[in-house]
Structure 1
Amino acid sequence: MRGRCCHYPGRMRPLAESMAALREIVATPAVSALAAAFQAEGHEFALVGGPVRDALLGYPVSDLDFTTSASPDETRAVVEGLTKQIWDVGREFGTIAAKVHGETVEITTYRADTYRDDSRKPDVAFGDSIEGDLVRRDFTINALALLLPEMRLVDVSGGVEDLLARRITTPGSPETSFTDDPLRMLRAARFASQLGFTVEPEVQAAMYEFSSRLEIISAERIRDELVKLLSTDDPVPGIRLLVETGLAELFLPELTALLETQDDHGRHKDVYEHSLTVLRQAIELELERREPSTAGPDVVLRLASLLHDIGKPATRRFERGGVTFHHHDVVGAKLAKKRLRELRFDNDTIKRVARLVELHLRFFGYSDQQWTDSAVRRYVRDAGEELERLHILTRADVTTRNRRKAERLQHAYDDIERRIDELAEAEELAAVRPELDGEQIMAVLGLPPGPEVGRAYKFLLELRLDEGPIGEEAAAERLRAWFADGSG
C-alpha cells in the first residue's frame, strides 16, 4: 500500500495535513469497504494504534490495524461478505486477519486483558467500549483511534499532546501497564530510538523496578523486539535505556558486562561506549554502501557490531602497566553463539554473526606490514559470504580520536579493498577453489573415494591460496610430487 522507509520525521504535522492523510487512508477501497460493512451490521469500527500515530507524524503507513465492538465470530461473518482470504491465527486473542482489495488487515475485538504473575500469555477478556480498549494499550501515542466511517478521532489519554511533546508515557500508571505486559518495557526502548522521543522519568523508573517481570516473556518475543530496535535508524538511545534500567541484563548480559571494563584510570578505552559507537558507524556505512535493491536493515551486521567485543570482559588482563584482551575475538564468537541461540535466532544468523565477531580483528596489523597476496586470498576465503559485512565492521571498529591513526587505518583498509578487487578480477577470488576437483584428484592419483582425497583437496587449496592460479597441468604435477613424498 504505502511503502515504509527507515526514517521517522518525529514531529507531528499540522492537524489539517494529518486529517488529510487519514482521509487518504480511509478512502482506499479496502478501508472504505470494511467501514461500510461493519457500520451496516451495527458495529463500531476504528483504525487504531500505529497507523493513526504514523499518519499524525507524517510517516508513511503500511500496516493497517483495526479494532471493533464486534466479537471474533461477528467480525468473521462481516469480513466473509468481502473476501474469502481470511485467517483465524489470532482468533483466541480476538484477532481476525484478512486480505481485502489487495490489502492485508487485522481486526481485533475490543480487549481488556491482563497477564497473571506467572504467565507468558494474557488472560483474554473482551471489552465493550473503544475507550476501555485504548486505556489498556501500551503508550498514549499508540492509544489513538479513528472511528470509521465518521472520521472521529478518539484520544482518551492525551496521546496527541504527547506526540507534540515528543514523549513516551503510558495511558495509566506505568506499573500497571508493565505488570499487564512486561514486553512493553522493551517497546518503550524501541520507540525511543524509532521516534526519537524521550521516555518519561516515571516510566523509566517503572522499567527499572519491574525489569525482573520480563522473565515471563518468551525468548522469541524478546528477540523480535531486539531485532525491531536494531532495525531503527539509531538504536543507541534504546540500547542505553535497556542497559540503564537493568532490562538488558536479563536477555543480553554480555552487553551489560562491558560496563565492567570501564576504566577510570585511562588505561584503555571504554569498551561499552566503543561498542555503541561502532554500531552507529556501522549503520552509517551500511546505508552508504547498501545496494539500491537491498531490502531493509542488515540485522546480522548490526548484531555483530554491537557484540563484537563481548569477549573482552572475560579476557581482560593487566600486564606491565597496561591492559590486554588476548583472544577476545574467539571468546566473543563463542559467547555470541550461545546468547543468540538462547534468544532463538535462526542458525544462519547465529553462524554469520559469530563469524564476523571471530574475524573482526583479522585486518589490524595490515597497516604495519602489508600482506602478501596469499594472506589477502586467505582473508577473503575465511570471510566467505561475510566479506562485505566484514569490510564495514572493520572500518566501523576504528573509533580512535587520534586523527593520524584513524587516517592511517582508513588508508590501509582502502588499500586492502583495492587489492581484493584486483585479485578478484584476475583470479575470480570470491570462488577460490583448487584447480582440480575430487574426480580429477582421484584420476591423477589413482585413488578411490576416501580421506586421502580430502587431504589432497586441502593441499591443492593451500597451494591455490599461496600461489594463485598455476594451471591444471602444473597442479597435477605438484599433487603427484606431494603424494609421492608421502605427505598424503
Structure 2
Amino acid sequence: MTRVAQALDTLATLVGRPPVSDLASAFDAAGFELSLVGGPVRDAFLGKDVNDLDFASSAHPDQIEQIVRPLADAVWDVGREFGTIAAQFGDTTIEITTYRADSYDGASRKPTVEFGDSLDEDLVRRDFTLNAMAVRVPGLVLVDPYGGLTDLMDGVLRTPSPPEVSFGDDPLRMLRACRFVAQLGARIEPETASALSEMAPRIEGISAERVRDELVKLLSTPHPREGVEAFVDSGLAHLVLPELALLREERDEHRRHKDVYQHSLTVLEQAIELEQERHPGSPPDVTLRIAALLHDIGKPVTKKFEPGGVVTFHHHDVVGAKMAKKRLKALRFDNNTIDSVSLLIELHLRFFGYADQGWSDSAVRRYVRDAGDELERLHIVTRADVTTRNRQKADRLAFAYDDLEARIKELSEKEELQAMRPDLDGQQIMDILGIGPSRTVGQAYRFLLELRIDHGPLGEDAARERLLEWWDKQ
C-alpha cells in the first residue's frame, strides 16, 4: 500500500468513528460544512499518529456551539472572536473554527477578523501548502487547492499565497519555516526563501514570547541542525539570536577544518545523541540543547591574536555565560532555564584541566559542588564538546571523562557529594561560638564547607576544633 493510500485509510478510520462521525453527521444535518484541516491531515500523509483534531466549518461560533454542545462532555471558548470553539469528547479534544478570511494592518500580528465563505478561502491564509490541505466529512474528500500533497511528498516548503503576503500577515511564519525544515526534513523553495531573507527584519515586530516558543519548538525536534542553519542563513538569527550568527565568522584557535559555528552545530547534534542515549524516551531537554548550541558564543568578543599568529579566546566561557544570560532574558525565558544555561556555559571548559593533569579529590568535589543540579547536563555538554577528528585525542578525552565520572560516583558513594554540607550546621556553629544569627555564621559555614571540599568529611569533633581555631583568628 502506498503512503497516500495508507493515509486515506487512516483518515477513513478516523472520520468513520465517534466523535468525528457524530460531529460530521450533526453538521451535515444542520446544513453546514465541516472539514479536518492542517496538521492532522499532513501528519496522516507522513504516516504519523494523528492526535490533535482541528476542524474548519462554514458555521459561525454560536452555531458551532449549538451543534456541538448536545454531543460533547464539555464545550468552551478558545477564542470566540476568532471563530474557535473547543469541545471535549472523553479523552479527545477537538477545536472547530469558522472559515476565516483575515486581513492585517501590516504593522502588528493582530488580524482584523473576517469570517470567510469557503474552505479554499480559509486554506489560502494558512502558513504553508503542506498545512493547507483538508478532508471534508462526513465523506472522505481531500481538498488540496494549492498542491500541498505534492509539496509534502517532495519535501518542499511553499506558501499558498505569495510569500510576501503570507509573511507580512504573520512574520513568525518565517521562523516556523526554519522549524519545519528540521521537523519535516523539508527545503524552502527559492521564491519563499528569497522573501524570507528580504522580510527577516519583520520578525522584530513579533513578541519575544512568541519568538521564544518557536525557537523552543525548533530545538525540540529530533534533528534541529538543518533548521538552525536555515535560521542563520535567512538572516533571522542576526536579529533574534545575533550571538549565534556571529559564530559563523570565527575560526577556532587551532585553525582546524571546522569553524566555531559548525563546531557548535556538531556539539548540538552530539549532545542530543548523548541525551537520548542516557535518557531514552524522555522529552527533549531544551535547556541542554540551548547550552550546547551557545556554549562558545563568547569566542568572537574574546578573540585575540598572540605572537606567532596563534588565536586565543581566553575566558570565553565566563563571557559567554554572561552573554547567554542577557540574551535569554531578552527572549523571556524563565529564570531556571537562564540560570542553568549560563552555568553550563561557564563550566563547560573546566574538565579539560582534568584531562591534562588529573585532579585531586578536592578538585572533584569542587566540580560537583559548582555544577550542583546541572552535573548530569554538564557531563553531556562536556562530552559533546569533543569534535576533533583526531581519533587518538578523542579517545584520550573520552577515557579521561570516563575516569572523572567514575571518581565522582566513587566519592559520591562514600561522601554523598550531591548533598555536600559542612560537618556542622548553622545552629551548631552558633552554639559552639556562642553567637546569634549574623554574617559571621555564614562566614564560618563557608569556611567549614571549604574544609569539607578540600579534605572530605572530618567528623563533628575535628570540625569543631578547626572552627574554634578559625574563630581565634577572627
TM class by smaller structure: over 0.9
Alignment of 1:291-302 (within 5 A): 292=281, 294=282, 296-302=283-289
In the alignment, is residue 173 of structure 1 matched against residue 162 of structure 2?
yes
Q: Structure 1 residue 105: deviation in Å? A: 1.8
Deviation at 1:28, TM superposition (A): 4.3
Deviations 1:424-479 (A, max 9, x none): 11111111011211111111111111111111111111111111112122211211
Matches within 5 A, 1:272-421: 272-290=261-279, 292=281, 294=282, 296-320=283-307, 321-421=309-409
**CA distance in 2 between partners of 1:324 and 1:142 (Å):** 47
Whether 1:434 and 2:422 are equivalent positions in the alignment is yes
* Matched ranges for 1:81-480 at <5 A: 81-83=70-72, 85-262=74-251, 266=255, 269-290=258-279, 292=281, 294=282, 296-320=283-307, 321-480=309-468
Instruction: Supply the AA of the counterpart residue of 2:298.
Output: G
Q: 1:260 to 1:31 in 2, by over 3 A?
A: same
Partners of 1:210 and 1:18 in 2: CA distance = 35
**In structure 1, what is the Cα distance between the partners aligned to 2:35 and 2:256?**
59
Relative to structure 1, the CA distance from residue 102 to residue 33 in structure 2 (aligned partners, 3 Å threshold; closer, same or farther) is farther
Deviations 1:133-152 (A, max 9, x none): 11111111111111111111
Residues 4-15 of structure 1: pairs in structure 2 closer than 5 A: 13-15=2-4
SS in 2 for 1:338: helix
Give the root-mean-square deviation of aligned CA atoms: 1.7
Match for 2:326: what amino acid?
Answer: K
Aligned-partner Cα distance in 1 for 2:335–2:83:
33
Normalised to the residue count of structure 1, the TM-score between the two structures is: 0.94
Q: Is the 8 A contact 2:182 2:227 kept in 1?
A: yes
Distance 1:473 1:24, change over 3 A: farther
- Letter paired with 2:400: A
Taking only the aligned residue pairs, the percentage that are identical comes to 63
CA contact (8 A) 1:48 1:144 kept: yes
Deviation at 1:161, TM superposition (A): 1.1
SS of equivalent to 1:400 = coil
Is the contact between residue 85 and residue 95 of structure 2 (CA under 8 Å) also seen in structure 1?
yes
- So what's the TM-score if we normalise by structure 2? 0.96
- Write the distance in 2 (CA, Å) between the matches of 1:13 and 1:96: 35
Question: Matched residue of 1:108: which SS?
Answer: strand
Question: Aligned partner of 2:54: which letter?
Answer: D
Q: SS state of the match for residue 233, structure 1?
A: coil
2:54 is paired with a residue whose SS is: strand
Distance 1:339 1:143 in 2: 35
CA distance in 1, matches of 2:323, 2:29: 58
Of the structure 1 ranges 15-24 and 53-62, higher mean CA displacement relative to structure 2 is found in 15-24
Letter in 2 for 1:406: A
For residues 105-129 of structure 1, the C-alpha deviation after alignment (integer angstroms, 9 at most, x for no partner) is 2211111113322113122211111
Q: 1:13 to 1:227 in 2, by over 3 A?
A: farther
User: How many residues end up aligned between the 2 structures?
Assistant: 473
Q: Deviations along 1:217-276, whole A, 9 cap, x unmatched?
A: 111111111000000111111111111111111110111111221479937851111111
8 Å Cα contact 1:300-1:349 kept in structure 2: yes
Deviations 1:58-85 (A, max 9, x none): 0112211111111112122222222353
Pair 1:79 & 2:68 matched: yes
**How many angstroms does 1:37 deviate by?**
2.5
* 1:43 aligned counterpart, secondary structure: coil
Write the deviation string for residues 361-414 of structure 1: whole angstroms up to 9, x where unpaired. 111121111101111011011111111100000000011111111111111100
Contact residue 134 and residue 143 of structure 1 kept, 8 A:
yes
Show the counterpart of 2:41.
52
Kept in 2, the 8 Å contact 1:114–1:181? The answer is no
Structure 2: which amino acid aligns with 1:318?
F
Q: Pick closer, same or farther for the CA change 1:21–1:84 going to 2, 3 Å.
A: closer
> Larger deviation: 256-265 or 101-110?
256-265
